[in-house]
Amino acid sequence: MFENLTVQPEDQILKLTGMFRADPRTDKIDLGVGVYRNAAGQTPVMRAIKKAEQQLWNSETTKAYTALAGDPAFHQAITDLLLGDAADPSRLAAVASVGGTGALRIAMELVRLANPQATVWVPSPTWPNHLPIARHVGLKLAEYRYFDSETGGVDFGAMMQDLGRVAPGDIVLLHGCCHNPTGANLTLPEWDSVAEIVTRQAAIPLIDIAYQGFGDGLQADAAGTRLIASRCPEALIASSCSKNFGIYRERTGLLLAVTPNTAMRDIAQGNMATLNRVNFSFPPDHGARLVTMVLTDPALRAEWTAELEEVRLSMLSLRESLADALRARTGSDRFGFLAQHRGMFSRLGATSEQVETLREKHGVYMVGDSRINIAGLNASSVPVLADAIAATGI
């Protein structure tokens, strides 16, 4: 059997991490891996999560399974956080998942069950794992234009032109906020236009929202997702708790389905639970329970919200500092888009050769498409990076 397997391509970000660790230089900068780091270079356990863990340790009496769909209290807590009152609860189905990636996998499998001929339309560029997940479950892929590398913003006219070619029953994948890898986001009026064209084309939006609270705040970051849920008769929403709760290794996520009516909700709920069953049976609960505790306890929620805002403002400050430093070194504002982007990521617009030069000559590690993780910077490394970018002639 094993002789029939082929060697799989190495994950480029993990490869980059290994290269960074092997680099003996003390002034090297890691802008590759997509995790939040504080000024000390650590990914800390959030204060509210730590307190919730202590409370759970004292109060938990069993490690028995919850349910195939996960704990309903977790469903409710995340649904409230994401959607508020934007959608009728009687139309919503939900299952807990193994992280946001697991939610995307269940969503894609649900699409395949419902319409094997559906094409999944993804923005160009998008998170690299979107493509292999869709291919692995047997769905066709197509791209719509999204990012304008000249302006560093969304090429909305081209995006709308491409979405006009989407067929009924197709899936349109959208980033809820803090677009990965570009950091360029839709405005609320643009979200409104997307909802209109997706509905007109009888397509189904699939929103991947992994960074709520990292961009413009919890409410603003959910505004596009809420608009889609309120305007579109059907939608899928994959939510991750890894970043905004800092529980990466707990693998905590939720898949929400917005359905046309209660009868369809019940059918979707049963299918989603069955997909959980055949993939991993019962979803993990530890992270989900901590999130539920934080969101339903006023004191813990207030502390979490405050710390999340600290994280958000820290990244905005780093963005502004880097844009200012590059303006001073280059004599131009061509990197001004860095201050306008939101979330952890932006694309510098460097060539693959320039990315290699940054790594070899300056110890600056980034993904080959020049995506940088803003949270990999601190006050000391911003001027070092700016010097390296200017010296490389990007």
- Name the catalytic one among 121, 127, 191, 304: 127
Catalytic residue chosen out of the listed positions 184, 210, 222, 238: 210
Closest residue by Cα to residue 348 from 360, 328, 359, 334 = 334
One of 30, 48, 94, 243 is an active-site residue; which one?
243
Cβ-Cβ contacts under 8 Å for 264 (sequence gap 6 or more) = 91
Catalytic, out of 155, 170, 208, 221? 208
Q: H helices within 6-46, ranges in order? A: 12-22
Q: For 185, list phi and psi in degrees, rounded to 5.
A: -120, 155
Query: Is the Cβ–Cβ distance between 272 and 95 less than 8 Å?
Result: yes
Long-range contacts of 377-384 (CB under 8 A, 24+ apart): 377/29, 377/31, 377/318, 377/322, 378/39, 378/40, 378/41, 378/318, 379/39, 379/321, 381/29, 382/318, 382/321, 382/322, 382/325, 383/325, 384/27, 384/29
Instruction: Examine the residue annotation and report whether 127 is marked as an active-site residue of this protein.
Output: yes
302 tagged catalytic: no
Backbone phi and psi for residue 235, each to the nearest 5 degrees, phi listed first: -165, 155
- Cα dist from 32 to 166, 233, 277, whole Å: 33, 38, 34
Which residues lie below 8 Å from residue 189, measured CB to CB, with a gap of 6+? none
Q: How many CB atoms lie within 10 A of CB 135?
A: 13
Number of neighbouring beta carbons within 10 Å of residue 297: 16
User: DSSP readout, 54-90?
Assistant: HHHHHH--------TT--HHHHHHHHHHHHTTSS-GG
Task: Evaluate the CA torsion angle 349, 351, 353, 355 in order and state its sign.
Answer: positive
Alpha helices in the chain (DSSP H): 12-22, 47-59, 72-83, 99-114, 130-136, 156-163, 188-200, 218-231, 262-279, 286-296, 298-330, 337-340, 352-362, 381-392
List the catalytic residues: 127, 208, 210, 243
